[in-house]
Structure 1
Amino acid sequence: MDLSSYAEWAVRLVNDGEPPAELGQVFTLAGEGREQEAIDLLNALLVRYPVRPQLSGHDGQSWHLHLAEETVPCAVMGLAALVADLGVSRLGRCADVSCSRAFLDTSSNRSRRYCSARCASRANVAAYRARRKIGQ
């Protein structure tokens, strides 16, 4: 069962919704390298928000599992599954100083530092302008 889409719910909740504060804190702790604390908090969220899997067969597909459509429990479960597969270091907060959005790093080389290409570009342009200003 692929839970990556559910992990993306966690990011959307943290960035755009009304998540439990602890869900956003998981990304902050992970981004700060506080792995054990992030794991402990994620485990506490799994206890607080249990999931209910259901068998589903739709759109001509064979029977497969879905998580019940309760946003927070599904997001927590997806995030836990991603951490179990890829590690807590794949969670973080945007490195752009004017942004604090959460992100999942699913890149092959674990190099993601920004929540979006827009933030990465803005940070790179600001760094370039700062270097030029120093050189003048």
Structure 2
Amino acid sequence: MGSTVIRQGFRPGERLVEIANAVRERPGLPRDDLAALLLRHGESPADLAPGSFTDADAAGLRDAAARLADVLAETDPDRAALALNALLDECGARPRLSRHDGHAWHLHVDRGDDASWAEWFTASGALALAQILSETGRPAWGECAAPGCSRLYLGTGPGTARRYCSSTCASRTRVAAHRRRGPAPRR
């Protein structure tokens, strides 16, 4: 029995963070592992076959993920905007609607259907972050503030700015701070 792929629709910000974290954790992340991540985020199996998604494509994608990770670690809105504009300019980003592989119409900002994997990933990731920055007025992303953790996160929900990659890191940090303060004085 073959495996079933459940496509969630396009969520380029989530794809970006997951791939950037994977590449930060394993800079030499193999082609097959990158292909599995892309498949999980809706890319077609045919496009990710070894002849279509090569080791050179994987190397370019890893480089693009590392460059975008630098933007994800940027907390200053002006520096983040300048970095995103530079990436979009580099990719020759010009919005266009695309429909392929049975997907609904969706936005692409790469040079065209013949764009490299790295160019596509850079353009789509930069566009996703630019949209978030323009909607929130600040980078709604970052690097986890928990000691010993450097995972990137995307925080697009309502409320205060997020500081941790997960509730586990947030809780661990709060518990450690509580223990450092010691017991409350008795009355």
Of structures 1 and 2, the one scoring higher in RCO (CA 8 A, sep 6+) is 1
Secondary structure of the residue aligned to 1:96 is coil
Equivalent-residue separation in structure 2 for 1:95 and 1:50 (angstroms): 34
Distance 1:78 1:124, change over 3 A: same
What residue number does 1:38 align with? 80
2:48 matched residue in structure 1:
none
Please give the alpha-carbon distance, in whole angstroms, between the structure 2 residues aligned to 1:6 and 1:40.
20
Whole-angstrom CA distance in 1 between matches of 2:19 and 2:67: 12
**CA distance in 1 between partners of 2:69 and 2:182 (Å):** 36
What pairs with 1:46-85 in structure 2 (closer than 5 Å)? Answer: 46-50=88-92, 53-56=97-100, 58=102, 63-67=104-108, 70-85=120-135
Root-mean-square deviation over aligned CA pairs: 2.9
Once the 2 structures are TM-superposed, how far is the Cα of residue 57 of structure 1 from its aligned partner?
8.2
1:126–1:50: structure 2 CA closer, same or farther, 3 Å change rule?
farther
Q: Conserved in 2, the CA contact under 8 Å of 1:49 and 1:76?
A: no
Q: Does 1:93 align with 2:161?
A: no
TM-score by length of 1: 0.74
SS in 1 for 2:142: strand
| Identity between Structure 1 and Structure 2 (%) | 30
Secondary structure of the 1:47 match is helix
Q: Does 1:16 align with 2:22?
A: yes
CA contact (8 A) 1:91 1:104 kept: yes
Query: Structure 1: which 5+ residue stretches go unaligned?
Result: none
Highest Rg: 1 or 2? 2
Taking a change above 3 Å as real, the CA distance of residues 24 and 114 of structure 1, as seen in their structure-2 partners, is same
- Count of matched residue positions in the alignment of Structure 1 and Structure 2: 127
- The structure whose residues are more often helix, as a share, is 1
When normalised by structure 2's length, the TM-score is: 0.56
SS, match of residue 99 in structure 2:
strand
Q: 1:95 to 1:134 in 2, by over 3 A?
A: farther
- For structure 2, the 5+ residue unaligned runs are 1-8, 24-61
2:73 maps to amino acid: T
